[in-house]
Amino acid sequence: MGIAVYPGSFDPITYGHLDIIQRGRRVFDRLIVAVLHNASKQPLFTLEERMHLIREVTKEMPNVEVDSFDGLLVDYIRSIQADVILRGLRAISDFEYELQIASINREMNKEAETLFMMTNNKYSFLSSSIVKEFAKYGADVGELVPDVVKKALMAKYGHQQAGE
């Protein structure tokens, strides 16, 4: 069914993101997880680290690719000839914001279709910000992120893993 782009900062990638990736890759021939490089923000992980973590957790998914972009998403999807922008929704509050973004994207690129996918209910509360906040204080985030991401978070915050 074509090429979809799943854009985001993914700082870090969570099980909520992976839920959308897993389901989106079954709908589209190619799913490109596009990591936003925003010079005005200070993410916890560098662009390269975020891309590495995403590649690690999607390496068993042959039709998933990882890329990065800066600037406008509509320009990026045009440059790679993508068919759809895939966006995950956790709650009705996400929808209002995402509808505005989808509308302006469509205005700027008439070919820019957006597909909204509801996140699995068990991840409806989950955000990268929440994960970082818990990890910062040494909480076990193993139920929220894959093990490789948990280890990277613990290392960033200077926490030791159990058994080390």
> Choosing from 40, 41, 93, 110, which is the catalytic residue?
41
- DSSP code of residue 122: G
Q: Can you point out the beta strands (E) in the chain?
A: 3-8, 30-36, 64-69, 84-89, 113-118
Evaluate whether 90 touches 119 at the Cβ level (below 8 Å).
Answer: yes
Peptide bond before residue 12 is cis, with ω within 30 degrees of 0: yes
CA atoms within 13 A on the CB side of 153: 27
> Does 25 participate in catalysis according to the annotation?
no
In the residue annotation, 52 being an active-site residue is answered as no
The residue from 90, 106, 151, 156 that is catalytic is: 90
> Among residues 50, 128, 132, 150, which one is catalytic?
128
Query: Using CA atoms, how far apart are residues 108 and 99, in angstroms rounded to an integer?
Result: 14
Neighbours of 147 (CB within 10 A): 11
| Known catalytic residue at 129 | no
Query: Catalytic residue positions?
Result: 17, 41, 90, 128
